[in-house]
């Protein structure tokens, strides 16, 4: 419990630091004026787009699970909605663990395979974001430092890809190494770690099918382009003179990188900093950029929370049960 409390404190401090950087140079009068003059019809349109991105995530998740099982779409949608809602209201990105736990208990799937599929999702997200980063960097003028970061991140992605391919080609060797590492850990923790390794190796079988691989890549690109539509609507809402395609790709990339850092519930601070830095590239001042970030963030918060509450209601689960299930305390009935 002490370690968890420490992680929560650190995550909140990270959010505070991000938020402090985001509000530097903000003139609050100008920010309030930007909020007052915004066209909130476009903000309302962000809500169904946000919910639609959750549905896309659920459909894509099924592809990553196909080596383990092919669950019905409904439990996938419910687990996705509740998991991302948990990320919004609970610390430490708890939703990443909630999703496979809920799916495992609702669809009777092995938990190790579900956890591994979530890791595989994040790897595909990383590849997609880096691809969009490369595209956006080629479309806009960026500093040499930013371009250097892009190359470094691309190198990291290639290294991860190489490790994944190696694991798939040398499955027995990978499991043998995992077994040795697990044996060095306390018995319960070691068995859990080895079970996850087995599930991850099993989930990687989907890479044996070129069709499944291409489908996963296509769905990942579709997902992140759908997410970028939220920023396009934000440009119109705040009357920002930002190139539609380039601006949306830049913000999608920078915000995704910013919120990947563990932070307070709802990615507070990280989201604002990503928006302010992205809009600054196109000459948007800090004040309207912060106003933009607050409203776009709020629309996503409302959309995700609404979808999550609906799924909690239909599945007859309480938020307390969700948090307890992630910690392995009680079963979710």
| Mean per-residue pLDDT of the chain | 86
pTM for this prediction? 0.88
Residue range 212-226, pLDDT digits in tens: 888 988 999 999 999
pLDDT (average), residues 117-143: 82
pLDDT (average), residues 103-132: 86
How would you class 131 by CB atoms within 10 Å of its CB: exposed for 0-12, middle for 13-18, buried for 19 or more? Answer: middle
- The region of weakest confidence among 115-119, 126-130, 260-264, 294-298 is 260-264
Decide: 323 and 86 in contact? Cβ < 8 Å: yes
Question: Which pLDDT does position 166 carry in this prediction?
Answer: 87
Question: Which pLDDT does position 157 carry in this prediction?
Answer: 74
- Entry field: residues in the chain: 333
Relative orientation angle of helices 2-23 and 286-315, to the nearest 10 degrees: 140
| Terminal-residue alpha carbon distance, the chain | 25
Q: Which residues contact 146 (CB under 8 A, 6 or more apart)?
A: 137
Q: Which residues contact 33 (CB under 8 A, 6 or more apart)?
A: none
Q: Which residue has the higher pLDDT, 252 or 134?
A: 252
Which one of 10-14, 23-27, 89-93, 135-139 scores highest in mean pLDDT?
A: 23-27
Question: Which pLDDT does position 333 carry in this prediction?
Answer: 45
Residue range 165-190, pLDDT digits in tens: 888 888 889 899 999 998 988 888 88
């Amino acid at each position: 419990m002490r370690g968890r409390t420490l992680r929560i404190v650190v995550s909140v401090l990270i959010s505070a630091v991000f938020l402090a950087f985001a509000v530097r140079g903000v003139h609050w009068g100008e920010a309030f004026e930007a909020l007052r003059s915004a066209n909130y019809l476009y903000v309302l349109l962000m809500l169904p787009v946000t919910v639609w991105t959750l549905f896309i995530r659920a459909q894509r998740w099924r592809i990553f699970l196909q080596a383990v099982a092919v669950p019905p779409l409904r439990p996938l949608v419910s687990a996705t909605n509740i998991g991302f809602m948990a990320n919004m209201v609970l610390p430490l990105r708890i939703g990443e663990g909630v999703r496979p736990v809920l799916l495992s208990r609702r669809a009777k799937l092995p938990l190790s395979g579900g956890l591994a599929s979530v890791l595989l999702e994040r790897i595909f997200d990383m590849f997609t974001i880096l691809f969009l980063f490369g595209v956006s960097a080629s479309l806009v003028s960026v500093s040499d430092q930013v371009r250097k970061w892009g190359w470094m991140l691309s190198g990291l992605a290639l290294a991860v890809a190489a490790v994944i391919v190696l694991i798939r080609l040398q499955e027995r060797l990978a499991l043998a190494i995992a077994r040795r590492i697990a044996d060095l850990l306390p018995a319960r923790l070691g068995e859990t770690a080895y079970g996850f390794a087995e599930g991850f190796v099993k989930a990687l079988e989907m890479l044996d099918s070129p069709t499944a691989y291409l489908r996963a890549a296509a769905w990942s690109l579709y997902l992140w382009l759908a997410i970028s539509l939220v920023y396009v609507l934000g440009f119109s809402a705040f009357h920002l003179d930002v190139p539609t395609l380039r601006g949306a790709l830049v913000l999608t990339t920078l915000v995704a990188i910013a919120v990947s850092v563990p932070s307070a519930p709802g990615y507070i601070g990280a989201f604002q900093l990503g928006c302010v830095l992205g809009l600054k590239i196109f000459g948007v001042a800090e004040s309207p950029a912060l106003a933009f970030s607050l409203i776009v963030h709020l629309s996503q918060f409302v959309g995700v929370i609404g979808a999550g509450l609906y799924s909690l209601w239909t599945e007859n689960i309480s938020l307390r049960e969700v948090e307890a299930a992630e910690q392995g305390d009680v079963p979710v009935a």
